[in-house]
Amino acid sequence: MQKKLILDSDLLDLTVSRLCQQLIENHNDFSNTVILGMQPRGIFLAEIIHQKLKKDTGTDIPLGYLDTTFYRDDFRRRETPIRANETRVSFIIEGKKVVLVDDVLFTGRSIRAAMDAMIAFGRPATVELLVLIDRRRNRELPISADYVGKEVNTLASQRVLVELEAQGHKGNKIWLINKD
């Protein structure tokens, strides 16, 4: 198994800062914005961005977790059902500018499910997508991200592994792995 480092701690800090700056540019005072982290792994990045924006702008943007398990299109098409995670949306989505946050954008199917899941809470004014890693040329649906940490050319057979301190890893590292 070959591992290649594509982002380390320092670079990740820079990337997250840039993503936050882009959000500030587009959302001004964040008065009508909410952040939704996608379960299970997008919530850690969402937390990091939420904290950073709080530090930089002083606004506490509502942060929620969105689980897409029950909205996936591969139910009954895999050996075992996926284990569901907690959805925690304690605010109104109706009329809000939603920023969906996930770690890796791959086929786009999770994002499709996420949009379905989100609409169960109301009709947002706009929806934007922020991802840390965009795996280009692997999309199966017409979906693209508005804020991208890093674009990576990958093969469908490769895997992107995100290790964040918040998930209990030593240091922030993002790897590209060749599956044998």
Partner 1 sequence: MSKLSQKHLLGIKDITREDIELIFETADNFKDVINRPIKKVPSLRDVTIANVFFENSTRTRLSFELAQKRLSADVINFSASNSSVKKGETLLDTVNNILAMKVDMIVMRHASVGAPHYLSRHIQANIVNAGDGTHEHPTQALLDAFSIREKLGTVSGKKIAIIGDILHSRVALSNIFALQKLGAKIMVCGPPTLLPKFIGQLGVEVEYDVRKALLWCDVANVLRIQLERQQIKYFPSLREYSLYYGITRKMLDSLKKQIVIMHPGPINRGVELSSDAADSPHSIILDQVENGVAIRMAVLYLLAGSK
Contact residues toward partner 1 (CB under 8 A) are 67, 69-72, 75-76, 78-87, 116, 119-122
Nearer to partner 1, 8 or 86 (CB): 86
With a CB cutoff of 8 Å and minimum separation 6, the contacts of 109 are 72, 73, 74, 140, 141
Q: How far apart are CA 48 and CA 166, in angstroms?
A: 9
Question: Least distance to partner 1 from the beta carbon of 60, Å?
Answer: 23
Q: Which CB sits closer to partner 1, 70 or 175? A: 70
Q: How far apart are CA 93 and CA 32, in angstroms?
A: 10
Nearest approach in angstroms of CB 80 to partner 1 is 4
- In angstroms, give the least distance from the CB of 54 to partner 1: 26
User: What are the Cα distances from residue 47, in Å, to 18, 37, 64, 128, 177?
Assistant: 16, 8, 9, 17, 25
When the beta carbons of 122 and 158 are compared against partner 1, the nearer one is: 122
Asked whether 52 and 16 are in contact (CB, 8 A), the reply is yes
User: Nearest approach, Cβ of 87 to partner 1 (angstroms)?
Assistant: 6
**Residue number with CB closer to partner 1 (20 or 89):** 89
- Tell me whether residue 77 or residue 170 sits nearer to partner 1 (CB atom): 77
CB of 39 to partner 1, least distance (A): 10
SS3 80: coil
- Decide: 99 and 128 in contact? Cβ < 8 Å: yes
